[in-house]
Amino acid sequence: MPIAIISHPDCALHDMGEGHPEQPARLAAIHDRLIASGLEMIVRQIDAPVVTREQLARVHDADYIDRVFAEAPTDGLLMLDPDTAMTPNTLPAALRAAGAVVHAVDLVIGGQFQAVFCAVRPPGHHAERNRAMGFCIFNNIAVGAAHAIHAHGLERVAIIDFDVHHGNGTEHIFQDEPRVLFCSSFQHPFYPFTGHETDTPHIVNITLPAGSDGARFRQEAETHWLHRLHEFKPQLVMISAGFDAHAEDDMSHVRLREADYVWITRELKKVADQYGSGRMVSALEGGYNLSALGRSAVAHIDALLGH
């Protein structure tokens, strides 16, 4: 069964200024590599819809949603935290980014596609229930997971986050929700300096010291993630796909390569095939070296295809 890529031109218009690592060129880097690989002819490309307020409110506080809409600027730059800014183009992009993941969930549960990759920005995994941070406005993957539970009645959704930064927002949102198994790997100590002391049965965090390579990541994932995923038997596997742990990415000091992203994607596909009819939804998080991002994301998409 073919896979889909969901994106939208609005996601490329969000621009926090020259020199900001979370830049519009990130999406172009993935698209260009997709063309060069030949995969553009295989995958189906779909425009992201706008997320609804009801869908956002499953994971974000009402007053936070109101504040984001009320404060969205009509010109200039509004800083939400030291790293995260809103421009006139940010809110439309954020609504499409979250809407993409919701639509992806509908498509895989409805059987139209086995897997969907959401090439969207701003990213989402740092956004907590009531605050934006770390380049993130709304928590895209969390909105999609909550939609799977509340709109489709799923009882077991797994989210695997291999971004180099802890998915603190996703953990914050689902810390009291055992229907979600959250697995996150991240460099430690490192921004946002959370997750290393978590002791919750349905949250499985892997801390990676600076300099960790693919062998260390694979060993930790096999030891801590894979057996827990098989115990959980997820009906849907979702991925916060951050590629900033790549050796060429200056954002971190972890040394992963494309082959490591292919390996973890294939392992997660085995879990999805065994327990969830192969259903997988992946959403872009970090990845700031444009060449490494393009290569890694397309290798991940190729693995989602089963290659």
Of the candidates 8, 14, 31, 126, the residue annotated as catalytic is 126
For the chain, the farthest-separated pair of C-alpha atoms sits apart, in whole angstroms, at: 50
Count of alpha carbons within 13 angstroms of residue 169, beta-carbon side: 28
In terms of DSSP bridges, do strands 4-7 and 44-47 run parallel, antiparallel, or are they unpaired?
Answer: parallel
Residue 176, classified by CB atoms within 10 Å of its CB into exposed (0-12), middle (13-18) or buried (19+), is: exposed
Is 176 strand, coil or helix?
coil
246 belongs to the catalytic site: no
Q: What angle do CA 167, 262, 83 make, to 5 degrees?
A: 30
**CA distance linking residue 61 with residue 269, whole number of Å:** 33
Distances (CA, A) of 71 to 89, 93, 203, 255: 13, 15, 33, 39
> Cα(150)–Cα(146) distance, rounded to whole angstroms?
6
Q: Catalytic amino acids?
A: 126
